[in-house]
């Protein structure tokens, strides 16, 4: 069973010169093979996204622009992490509940995923998530 201890902040290498900065995401930076990339934008500041866990998908969440907070929860404990640097990603393994809120104006949230989309591997009910977590202890 994954716990909050299995989540981690990942530093994304960057190259900077007088023309600006370039961040590079390659296979040795992300702890899984990427199968899907998606991003959230134009999210109203009073809205939240996520509200689910994945049975199979691992993710890295990156604030490409602006800022937002990610609430991660393993069924026993939770914590809130501010993401506001395009060179830092939050690795979220399987079976960790996540919600994203407090989007700043112009925030862009990039998600790198280890699986193609499959609705059947989502857990969208928090009470069910907690029950499943207790079974794996």
For the chain, the residue count is: 137
Please tell me the total count of domains within the chain.
1
- Which candidate in 16, 52, 54, 78 is catalytic? 52
CATH code for the domain of 43: 2.60.120.10
Q: Where are the beta strands (DSSP E) in 36-77?
A: 36-41, 49-54, 59-65, 68-73
Distance CA 133, CA 85 (A): 31
- Told to judge if 78 belongs to the known catalytic residues of this protein, a careful annotator would answer no
pLDDT in tens, 19-51: 999 999 988 999 999 999 999 999 988 888 999
pLDDT in tens, 45-85: 888 899 999 999 999 999 999 999 999 999 999 999 999 99
- Specify which residues 74 forms β-bridges with: none
Q: Which domain holds residue 122?
A: 4-135
Distance CA 38, CA 61 (A): 10
pTM (two decimals): 0.94
- Cβ atoms of 47 and 103 within 8 Å: the answer is yes
């Amino acid at each position: 069973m994954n716990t909050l201890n299995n989540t981690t902040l990942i530093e994304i290498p960057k190259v900077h010169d007088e023309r600006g900065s370039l961040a590079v995401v390659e296979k040795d930076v992300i702890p899984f093979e990427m199968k899907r990339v998606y991003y959230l934008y134009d999210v109203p500041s009073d809205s939240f996204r996520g509200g689910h866990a994945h049975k199979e998908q691992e993710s890295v969440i990156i604030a490409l622009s602006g800022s937002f907070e990610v609430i991660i929860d393993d069924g026993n404990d939770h914590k809130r992490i501010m993401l506001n640097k395009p060179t830092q990603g939050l690795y979220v393994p399987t079976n960790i509940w996540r919600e994203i809120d407090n989007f700043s104006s112009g925030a862009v949230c990039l998600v790198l995923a280890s699986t193609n989309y499959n609705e059947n591997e989502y857990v969208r009910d928090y009470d069910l998530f907690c029950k499943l977590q207790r079974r794996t202890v």
